[in-house]
């Protein structure tokens, strides 16, 4: 099979010309939004899109609206040519790679605010983040008008926020979650993993290990509050600086109040679906992860 080089579109107008032709031909379209620095996690989204739609668009845009002034926008990895090389075996039809001026021209004055699953967790530490994500994702969905957009479950809260936003705004697009891709030792793949030193990289899998320990304890009927407390202590002792480790309702991310557990802190089989979510710093690198319970 001959591998096509994708169309590289730097403006919405260029992109819409291609998408419009596909639509006229009756073909389905999928969107994989990324900030580049592609790794196997991103490519799993492309694989999922390739299975479900006829035309795949990958966006590559480091979105300044989701970075606070003290965060790593300038240092965020930008590897466009390498990203294109990694995408070629997947035969994607288009790469949308706008610049910041095109996405946020002079006078831009609109932001999307999402409640519901955006409350707490990441918002407690990055209050600007989900508004920036919601705004850029809305712009991407309007630019591409895909049938399906694919988001990694590694950023589980982000996935739920985007799904809620699309429903609330009646955007006619399915928001599909794709399972987290991990290294052999359990570390969730992230573009920011490149920031880890060799010593930090050896410690980093402990975060997922503690998640799995809590999940196993809860599934076994142990006291959830005690399991969380033990894991928080272990994460601290391993050298992380913990932002949060929480057990939440898997669909809404609402806290699981004591009423969801019995007097001993144990959850019954009929309790709501649950998700464990964690964020912690290892040196100057912030890692996030989550697993179903």
Active site members: 42
Rounded distance, CA 163 to CA 116, Å? 11
Contact predicate 188/289, CB 8 Å: yes
User: What one-character-per-residue DSSP string does 22-43 give?
Assistant: HHHTT--EEEEEE-S---HHHH
Q: Which tokens in the block code for residue 93?
A: 């039809």
User: What one-character-per-residue DSSP string does 132-162 give?
Assistant: HHHHHHHHHHHHH--SEEEEEGGGHHHHHHH
Q: How many CA atoms lie within 13 A of 195 on its CB side?
A: 15
Residue bearing tokens 């899998």: 205
Residue 112 CA from chain centroid, whole number: 18
Rounded distance, CA 51 to CA 248, Å? 31
Rounded distance, CA 155 to CA 158, Å? 5
Burial class (CB in 10 A: 0-12, 13-18, 19+), 198: exposed
The DSSP bridge partners found for residue 55 are 29
Rounded distance, CA 122 to CA 212, Å? 20
């Amino acid at each position: 099979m001959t591998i096509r080089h994708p169309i590289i579109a730097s403006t919405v107008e260029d992109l819409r010309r291609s998408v419009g032709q596909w639509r006229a031909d009756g073909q389905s379209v999928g969107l994989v939004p990324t900030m580049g620095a592609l790794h196997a996690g991103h490519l799993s989204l492309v694989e999922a899109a390739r299975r479900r739609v006829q035309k795949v668009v990958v966006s590559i845009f480091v979105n300044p609206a989701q970075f606070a002034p003290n965060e790593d926008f300038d240092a965020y990895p930008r590897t466009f040519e390498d990203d294109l090389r990694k995408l070629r075996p997947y035969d994607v039809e288009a790469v949308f790679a706008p610049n910041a001026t095109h996405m946020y021209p002079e006078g831009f004055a609109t932001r999307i605010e999402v409640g519901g699953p955006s409350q707490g967790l990441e918002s407690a530490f990055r209050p600007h983040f989900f508004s920036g994500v919601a705004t850029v994702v809305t712009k991407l969905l309007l630019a591409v008008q895909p049938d399906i957009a694919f988001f990694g479950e590694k950023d589980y809260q982000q996935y739920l926020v985007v799904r809620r936003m699309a429903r609330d705004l009646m955007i006619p697009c399915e928001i599909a979650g794709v399972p987290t891709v991990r290294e052999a030792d359990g570390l969730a793949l992230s573009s920011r993993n490149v920031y880890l030193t060799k010593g930090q990289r050896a410690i980093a899998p402990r975060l997922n290990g503690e998640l799995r320990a809590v999940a196993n304890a809860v599934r076994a009927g142990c006291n959830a509050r005690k399991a969380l407390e033990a894991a928080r202590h272990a994460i601290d002792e391993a050298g992380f600086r913990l932002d949060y480790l929480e057990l939440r309702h898997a669909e809404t991310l609402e806290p699981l109040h004591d009423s969801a557990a019995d007097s001993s802190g144990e959850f019954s089989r009929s309790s709501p679906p649950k998700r464990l979510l964690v964020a912690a710093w290892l040196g100057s690198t912030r890692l996030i992860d989550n697993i179903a319970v």
